[in-house]
Structure 1
């Protein structure tokens, strides 16, 4: 019988702000269900989930603040992005009162920083690192800047992030991110100080190996989703859905431009519903809809609670993921498929690994408006095909929704990390 473990879970948020946070909470739930203890370490927020360890959490930090604060505060926050001494101090205090068997790191870049790794090493705690994005190789994490795909920083050429203002379109924020990445590189944080890696996609696994992370330290397995938590509807109304953060790299403006092409061609037998948190292109979305007389076909609904969102998805024909920045493992695909809806996705990053083209969904060439518009038109002209692919996508998710299998993989990773550290 496996020993019950104490797992220290470190992430920049202890609230649901994105796909990585959802995965962290899924893992926490599975561990607790199996009798393990999970100890969170994160940043302070009124929106945090309830926990017993909040006294050790650190001040929140938004990299955007570098453009807004006084010079003194800017310098203080600038240094915290590179190496957060408060995170190190607070974690050491926490480790004085509890001794975890293993630490599971999620998103720690910038807000928490790798300073926590040095604290863990001082207390002899084995470390597992979960890679949720491309930030080891790209300071903004998505291989996208100035409106287009970019890999200029790959192989440690992080100075390009400063020249291109890759982070928040800000020289200050980009400089801080560049210096943070260089510090991690020169200290060999990721190559020498991590006992085990969990990587959700093959594309990120291959990049990590090329970067120099030892292949024998990597376990590749995707995020977990419990398909039983998602109710499938037999209803298929003639609309499709975009949901997610409204940032440039998410590609929503390309969808609007593709729909404009269809309108010009005289095809208006479609409807799009847009959901999600406001972002840098929200005003552009609304303006484009108004300027091009698309309001009869496009409905901007913004943020809604999950219950409402999932109902809208479950009644739709399909969901679209038009990313033009590199995705890792996309939770939108998993959730849409769990609701029995196929996804029309961009051929970039880890998206093609999650969609079986022409079977559980459909792929289009990234940034190709003609290909995108033709495939949107195809799905509305062939709704039975979209429905069939949606049903197959649900079956596909169910096959991968084996909680025991995921738990066993997780335990194997923890065991290997502990053994690697002890050896």
Structure 2
């Protein structure tokens, strides 16, 4: 099978970028012919002021992307095109190019970008559905995309283009969503339910490191409001005797460091290498995921499962379904005292931690292994190709 992957990479490497790379490697390892049509947001910094300004309007429709992809489709003659992120350098024009050449399209929905300029349904510390309930342009007033009203306007214009009747999204044969919770959510938002298929993220098969749990709890993630890291610090004010390690970087870096000056049991590690990440997971009593937005399927949870590490997650969105009760514990991050009590009890229960460790590893092997994921992905491609056949 000849597969063309279309993706706009992020300025800072994201979980979405990692998923794209992992799927490409998985497909190639099984003998599939994989080609890439990529753009990279790191290239924006080198653009002139005039070209950066023009980019705001090309976000809604890039003639250059349309022309370039047409040429690539003519050259490669792919069986299927798999689209991930298109913002801001690719634009909805790539769907029109595929439709013109009658190539079936599969689209992975990693987040809520189709309906929210910020992609998170999250604003000012709370879940927000204003762009769904009122207008796609509701976020412009708040500058929901990168804190900029101009850039948010450009993204909203892109979304309006996508949602036109018989518009670009009509050419998508299958939408991949990460959980059954997301399938229900996107169907409620208006996507055709028959086109929504569930395929979770995965991790390459590896043997876990020897588990030697130390005394700390671990957070790994972007230091941003929607990830709940500040709420996590509120919780840890009530846990002075339980060490917490925070690994990652992001816009709240300095705020987190300032807050932890008053919390001696908390250490901020900053950005870490993959090797250090694996070491920290192997030594953690459990991973904590205090997200305040309705997460997709965080790769760090799958890493924890693969390593046999229990996981404590926020009770929002899909996370309670992603982490079954036997693999960890659920808590409400906005209720700091109650959350602290639940996490303290989990941390003190050696038998529960040991059982959750074994269950987490089983969950990885049965649901998130590369073999399972490959079968699911190929089946989705075959469905899209079959429907497009005359």
Same fold judged by TM-score > 0.5?
yes
Is residue 2:284 matched to residue 1:316? Answer: yes
The whole-number CA distance in structure 2 between the counterparts of 1:301 and 1:76 is: 39
Contact 2:302 2:368 in 1 (8 A): no
Contact 2:284 2:309 in 1 (8 A): yes
Contact 1:14 1:42 in 2 (8 A): no
The whole-number CA distance in structure 2 between the counterparts of 1:98 and 1:366 is: 49
SS in 1 for 2:34: strand
Farther-moved stretch of structure 1 (378-387 vs 100-109): 378-387
TM-score between both structures, scaled by the size of structure 2: 0.93
SS in 1 for 2:35: strand
- The equivalent of 1:374 in structure 2 is 341
Structure 1 stretches of 5 or more lacking a match?
A: 46-58, 263-267
SS in 2 for 1:40: strand
Contact 1:259 1:373 in 2 (8 A): yes
- The equivalent of 2:329 in structure 1 is 362
- The equivalent of 2:105 in structure 1 is 127
For residues 174-196 of structure 1, the C-alpha deviation after alignment (integer angstroms, 9 at most, x for no partner) is 11111111121125446511011
- The equivalent of 1:30 in structure 2 is 26
For residues 304-334 of structure 1, the C-alpha deviation after alignment (integer angstroms, 9 at most, x for no partner) is 1101111111111011111111211121111
How many residue pairs match? The answer is: 390
- The equivalent of 1:10 in structure 2 is 6
- The equivalent of 1:281 in structure 2 is 252
TM-score between both structures, scaled by the size of structure 1: 0.86
The whole-number CA distance in structure 2 between the counterparts of 1:39 and 1:284 is: 42
The whole-number CA distance in structure 1 between the counterparts of 2:284 and 2:108 is: 33
Structure 2 stretches of 5 or more lacking a match?
A: none
Question: CA distance change for structure 1 residues 366 and 113 in 2, over 3 Å: closer, same or farther?
Answer: farther
SS in 1 for 2:4: strand
SS in 2 for 1:11: strand
SS in 2 for 1:261: coil
The whole-number CA distance in structure 1 between the counterparts of 2:316 and 2:389 is: 39
Q: Which runs of 4+ in 1 moved over 6 A?
A: none
The whole-number CA distance in structure 1 between the counterparts of 2:134 and 2:35 is: 33
The whole-number CA distance in structure 1 between the counterparts of 2:148 and 2:9 is: 23
What is the 5 A alignment of 1:292-303? 292=262, 294=263, 296-303=264-271
